[in-house]
Amino acid sequence: MKHTILIIGLLCSAAIHAKDKPGGLRTDLLEHTDRTWQNGYLSNIPVWRLDAAIEPLQYVQIGSLHPAFSWLVPGTGQATRQTAYRIIVADAYKDAAEGHGSVWDSGQTNSDLSVAVKYAGQALQPNTNYFWRVKTVTNTGGESDWSDIKAFRTAATLSEYATSFYPQVKTMEHAVAIHPVASGVTVVDFGKDAFGQAVLTLTSKSGADSVTVHLGEILSGNRVDRKPPGTIRYHRYPLLLLPGTHTYRIKIEKDRRNTGSAAILMPAYVGEVMPFRYCEIEGYNTPLTAANVVRESVHYPFDETASSFQCSNDTLNQIWDFCKYSVKATTFAGIYVDGDRERIPYEADALINQLCHYAVENEYAIARRSHEYLLQHPTWPTEWILQAVLIAWNDYLYTGDERSLKANYNILKARTLAALKEKNGLISTTTGLQTPEFASQIRFFKEPLRDIVDWPHTSTFGQEGGEDDGFVYTDYNAVTNAYHYEALKRMAQLAGASDRQDEAASYARQAEAFKALFNRSFYNPETGTYKDGISTDHSSLHANIFPLVFDMAPIEKKPKIAEFIRSRGMACSVYGSQFLMDALYEAADAEYALSMLTKTDDRSWYNMIRVGSTISLEAWDNKYKPNQDWNHVWGAAAGNIIARKLMGIEPLEPGFKKIRIKPQPATLSRAEIQVPSIRGDIRVAFENQPDKRFALQVEIPANSVAEVWLPKLSAKYKITRNEVGVKGTVDGNFVKVDTGSGKHLFIIEALK
């Protein structure tokens, strides 16, 4: 080969080998429906042998009368696509093994659909085991063999649609370091913070010995910090020893703040947890080994091998690993929550968590479950009510499964907040439109909605500044109205997916009209920026990032807006950074975006690592939010930004039927990533010589197509795909080339 990419080792070593049968079988988005767990640990008993166990086992319970099936289409050839499938479902393993669909046989169905294929057989019965398998026909491989058999068990009660989910699980973890720090005092370091429980194996000769166990997230000197700042966790547990050697489980006491009526409680089979990295044992003089102290960390099932990222910037590598682990660690409740202080789901946390989770693992049910929970238990900020529509769109875009949005369509309509539209066409929460009828529509009865913009507000906790860049709050705010536009736009797409074409057209028209109104109302031609409100001339960072993120700003106005955004720096919270970074990449300001991702001051992701946290913080630093916790996944936005924007991997059509790969490397010289999708892994690697040569290797899963965007290096250039010249379509500073599945090497070179 004339041209090579030096960094394709990952791609070669992880390449998909040819398969002759479908794999990755999922029922209602879940792959491991055939497994069981015992109090957090995987069991050897499959789901169809529950009667072999005396004690209760946990397992996935499929609650839908018409579950949806998904699979990975076999074939690594170029442009492989499915042309037909056949699914069989049986209520006996033997029937499925013999190719007999005793409750459903779809017959050979001419279709390219390989995600969210709805069950259409005999009525499923509750508390019943079923077995299914699939074979496919592709344009490159013909008819496949039957897939392996996948089992699932129905729930005790079935409904037309229900979201299923995994139980929470436990991982047994040992110390990475054990430090005797004083006479009878040993500090055990597990290396990373995690929500869990401590199990100790200790020996007493007299039976009159007692020890004190200190669990905490940070150290003070070489001891566990007894008075950590904010909501960083510490707890003291006295333990009386019995004579001989015994194993003790430290019972985590409940915290009144995070076990209140709005909090998500831990299931009984798991028990209460607390986040801790360090376990200090005081009053024990026998040397400790790793076998003496175990942490049982609690989390949602997580596959660390599903994703990877490596690049030429070590700071960025550390940030990726940090954000990826943050996703795993903060799933302990089985529903996305805001952190340990409250353990309450909030839409903003769920939106960022959803995107971060999609970036690192092909797990979709926990995001859907969290979203549907929030539809019934919304929270107070205006923008976060609107975010429900965005979360619903993300769910559909990444899964291709429209059942959730159809089941919740009317709630989602109310979440556009059209009922708050005033005579001037803008929405407002302060002009008397929050009636009891409105509260009933959005299912929020606690208090009137309030605009949040960012959090905390200026001087909320007495610190200098705040995180909303001095936003001036008026009756008609730019941020809430920008969200309203995005909700209308996404609602048009959701209506179309729900087979409501008239409503889809209506929402599309409303969105376009509202965008024009927004620009007339909030754009200030004298400054070239957007104002915070129609009755103020103040322009904040926040009033300008959302028109870029939601593609509201006219193209000729974007450079000036981007210039203003650069002038404000990171004048937002870790939550706001999600939208700031999205805005920068939408404006193709990749160089500044990379500098913001990798900067190391106290308002950076690297600062979270530097201060000693291993899970993303609620705020950039303790001084910016004195009551913050150290386990808040909305601070991990950089993880999804790396996958979605820096490496440029996003679905364009539901279920990754069409993928966009649009890397924006700026000065980054090389990078490689694996991002999972419901159709299979997507791999991207590049070598970058700015303004000279850009080499991009991509691997697209079967039954998908992709738009590959290459940087337009100069006025004259040449492009090759697998050493064959190709032409592309110029779009701004990029050249777009369409491609099918398989592995492709694109090289674009500047010509003199």
At 2, is the pLDDT very low, low, confident or very high (cuts 50, 70, 90)? very low
At 463, is the pLDDT very low, low, confident or very high (cuts 50, 70, 90)? very low
Q: In sequence order, what are the residues at sequence separation of 6 or more whose Cβ sits closer than 8 angstroms to the Cβ of residue 647?
A: 309, 661, 663, 671, 673, 675, 684
Q: Which of 248, 179, 209, 310 is nearest to 670 (CA)?
A: 310
Other CB atoms within 10 A of residue 699 CB: 22
Q: What is the pLDDT of residue 460?
A: 59
**Exposed, middle or buried: residue 240 (CB in 10 Å: 0-12, 13-18, 19+)?**
exposed
SS (H, E, C) 667-728: CCCEEEEEECCCCCCEEEEEEEECCCEEEEEEEECCCCEEEEEEECCCCCEEEEECCEEECC
Other CB atoms within 10 A of residue 727 CB: 9
- The residues pairing with 603 across neighbouring beta strands, listed in sequence order, are none
Q: What is the pLDDT of residue 660?
A: 98
Structure tokens at 450: 């309030």
CB of 266 closer than 8 Å to CB of 272: yes
pLDDT digits (tens, 9 = 90+) for 66-96: 999 999 999 988 999 999 999 999 999 999 9
Spatial separation of the C-alpha atoms in residues 247 and 240, rounded to whole Å:
12
Q: What is the pLDDT of residue 446?
A: 87
Q: Report, as an integer, the average pLDDT of 2-29.
A: 60
Q: Which of 407, 409, 408 is nearest to 64 (CA)?
A: 407
CB of 346 closer than 8 Å to CB of 382: no
The single-letter DSSP state of residue 636 is G
Q: What is the pLDDT of residue 465?
A: 59
Structure tokens at 71: 């699979």
336 or 13, higher pLDDT: 336
Q: What is the pLDDT of residue 208?
A: 85
Percent of the chain with pLDDT over 70: 96
- How far does Cα 513 stand from its chain's mean position? 32
Q: What is the pLDDT of residue 461?
A: 54
**In the predicted structure, residue 587 carries a pLDDT above the cut 50:** yes
At 9, is the pLDDT very low, low, confident or very high (cuts 50, 70, 90)? very low
Q: Which of 134, 169, 166 is nearest to 28 (CA)?
A: 166
The single-letter DSSP state of residue 390 is H
Q: Are strands 693-700 and 682-689 parallel, antiparallel or unpaired?
A: antiparallel
In what helix (H) or strand (E) does residue 608 lie, and over which residues does it extend?
helix 605-610
**In the predicted structure, residue 462 carries a pLDDT above the cut 50:** no
At 219, is the pLDDT very low, low, confident or very high (cuts 50, 70, 90)? very high
Spatial separation of the C-alpha atoms in residues 395 and 638, rounded to whole Å:
20
pLDDT digits (tens, 9 = 90+) for 636-688: 999 999 999 999 999 999 999 999 999 999 999 999 999 999 999 999 999 99
**In the predicted structure, residue 524 carries a pLDDT above the cut 80:** yes
Please name the amino acid found at residue 737.
V
At 363, is the pLDDT very low, low, confident or very high (cuts 50, 70, 90)? very high
Query: Model-level pTM?
Result: 0.96
**In the predicted structure, residue 347 carries a pLDDT above the cut 70:** yes
- The residues pairing with 55 across neighbouring beta strands, listed in sequence order, are none
Structure tokens at 144: 């496949």
Q: What is the full DSSP assignment across 526-587?
A: TTTEE-SBTT-----HHHHHHHHHTT-S-GGGHHHHHHHHHHH-S-S-HHHHHHHHHHHHHT
**In the predicted structure, residue 7 carries a pLDDT above the cut 80:** no
- The residues pairing with 170 across neighbouring beta strands, listed in sequence order, are 298
Q: Report, as an integer, the average pLDDT of 261-276.
A: 97
